[in-house]
Amino acid sequence: MIKVVKFGGSSLASAKQFQKVGEIIRSDPERRYVVPSAPGKRHMHDTKVTDMLYECYALAEEGKNFSGQLKQIRLRFEEIITGLEMSLSLEQEFQEIAEQFQKKAGRDYAASRGEYLNSIIMAQYLQYTFIDAAEVVRFDEEGAFLSEETDKMLRQRLEETEHAVIPGFYGATAQGCVRTFSRGGSDITGSIVARAVHADVYENWTDVSGFLIADPRIIERPEGIETITYRELRELSYMGATVLHEDAIFPVRKEGIPINIRNTNAPEDRGTWIVESTCQKSRYTITGIAGKRGFCSINIEKDMMNSEVGFGRKVLQVFEENGISFEHMPSGIDTLTVFVHLDEFIDKEQKVVAGLHRLTRPDSIDIESDLALIAVVGRGMRSTRGTAGRIFSALAHANVNVKMIDQGSSELNIIIGVSDNDFEAAIKAIYDIFVISQL
């Protein structure tokens, strides 16, 4: 078997954490390819190295002296090296970074150096081959990731390498200009490497033992999720579940490679398995609950709307012309409601209203803000009758008024709209009815 292992920033924040990671990797000879993040926070009031690099580069961009900030970053890495009792100097690397900052090499270059330096340390610590992601992860000039070109380059390089460390989060254009994924993008790098080597498992190590059914900031000690499908994860990630970068599933999904979310600080825990499909039944009817605040609804009323050909297209055209994406669009016979992100809509609301009047000639338009959307997701809902009824009942008992409900034809998820003020109460009520009542 071949395993690709990615370790997050909290897993590599100090020498002590490095030692835990080293023990995990050495305990299984199948863990052959390692993708590190930059050092994260060592404690609550600490600063992530990536944020330190952003601050340091901002000074360089303004033409100010950044040597003091760069020295602090260097001390973070030297602390790790000293703690591991390694004879490794990063003098040359930091000299190069200082020169590139003076040349204003870009924020992407600056942000990537945390992963770059941490990977150099990790490679020497494990005695693995270091491969710079800039040489094997390709972006185009506009910063778009080139999936197939990267897969070909990475596959050729790793076929010749038994064990390797590849930094996460960044790559480069053909001209050598460093580009990064969005924040948390080391998850994506791990997935890309797993696809390239046809890994049997992609292990993503972090500071939690997998996904939880609900947000622990809302539900005290929520139950964990043992197995979740890619589709379920996609729904939950989009609605706010953040253990794994939502784009990390695409490379491995093409190859049918399972992802195992594990806890560096509790390596004996099974974690959560993310798979294409499974015959394993969920312990509960639902797999997870996730949600987001900050939405608004635009309710359009017009008599005989249902018989007017092209009405929906005209409505969406107005939002498209104003650069606003919509989240959901439930409709009735004479009504159609569009849910959008409030921060995208608020500065353009009157232009949108005017556009809707111009194109659709509605009888009335009503806007409601301070709304939240909650996704109840689970493959078990397909074979269970009365799921929506149980949700409505639970919300009614909690005195939560439902603004919208939308169920896809896949029967994989139900989206519920509620007031922002009812957001936490709604999640607690749904969790209680599907989880607490079954314990």
CATH code: domain of residue 409: 3.30.2130.10
> Residues 229, 340: one domain?
no
Q: What is the pLDDT of residue 439?
A: 64
Q: Which of 223, 253, 275 is the last residue of a domain?
A: 275
**What φ, ψ does residue 355 adopt, rounded to 5°?**
-65, -40
Question: Do residues 203 and 3 lie in contact, with contact meaning Cβ atoms separated by under 8 Å?
Answer: yes
> Residues 316, 271: one domain?
no
Q: Which of 225, 246, 275 is the last residue of a domain?
A: 275
Q: Is residue 283 part of a domain?
A: no
> Residues 218, 324: one domain?
no
Q: What is the pLDDT of residue 384?
A: 80
Q: Is residue 282 part of a domain?
A: no
Can you tell me the mean pLDDT for 375-398? 89
Q: Is residue 244 part of a domain?
A: yes
3-state helix, strand, coil in the chain (%, to 5): 45, 20, 35
> Residues 371, 260: one domain?
no
> Residues 420, 312: one domain?
yes
Single-letter amino acid, residue 47: T
Q: Is residue 266 part of a domain?
A: yes
Q: Percent of the chain, pLDDT > 90? A: 83
Q: Is residue 421 part of a domain?
A: yes
> Residues 226, 317: one domain?
no
> Residues 296, 213: one domain?
no
Q: Is residue 66 part of a domain?
A: yes
Question: Do residues 110 and 53 lie in contact, with contact meaning Cβ atoms separated by under 8 Å?
Answer: yes
Confidence at 372, pLDDT banded by 50, 70, 90: very high
> Residues 240, 305: one domain?
no
Q: Percent of the chain, pLDDT > 70? A: 99
pLDDT tens-digit map of 189-218: 999 999 999 999 999 999 989 999 999 999
**What φ, ψ does residue 419 adopt, rounded to 5°?**
-65, 150
Please say whether the dihedral angle defined by the alpha carbons of residues 8, 137, 241 and 323, taken in this order, is positive or negative.
positive
Q: Is residue 361 part of a domain?
A: yes
Can you tell me the mean pLDDT for 434-438? 89
> Residues 251, 307: one domain?
no
pLDDT tens-digit map of 82-141: 999 999 999 999 999 999 999 999 999 999 999 999 999 999 999 999 999 999 999 999
Q: What is the pTM of this model?
A: 0.86
Q: Which of 247, 275, 303 is the last residue of a domain?
A: 275
Of 213-222, 375-384, 417-426, where does mean pLDDT reach its minimum?
Answer: 375-384
**What φ, ψ does residue 83 adopt, rounded to 5°?**
-65, -30
> Residues 208, 316: one domain?
no
What CATH number does residue 116 fall under?
A: 3.40.1160.10
Could you give the number of structural domains in the chain? 2
Q: What is the pLDDT of residue 99?
A: 97
Question: Do residues 284 and 378 lie in contact, with contact meaning Cβ atoms separated by under 8 Å?
Answer: yes
> Residues 95, 185: one domain?
yes
- Residue 183: pLDDT over 90: no
- The secondary structure element, H or E, covering residue 204 is strand 201-206
Confidence at 409, pLDDT banded by 50, 70, 90: low
Q: Is residue 281 part of a domain?
A: no
Q: What is the pLDDT of residue 376?
A: 94
> Residues 334, 191: one domain?
no
Domain span holding position 298: 288-438
Q: What is the pLDDT of residue 332?
A: 86
Tokens 């080293």, residue located: 22
- Residue 254: pLDDT over 90: no
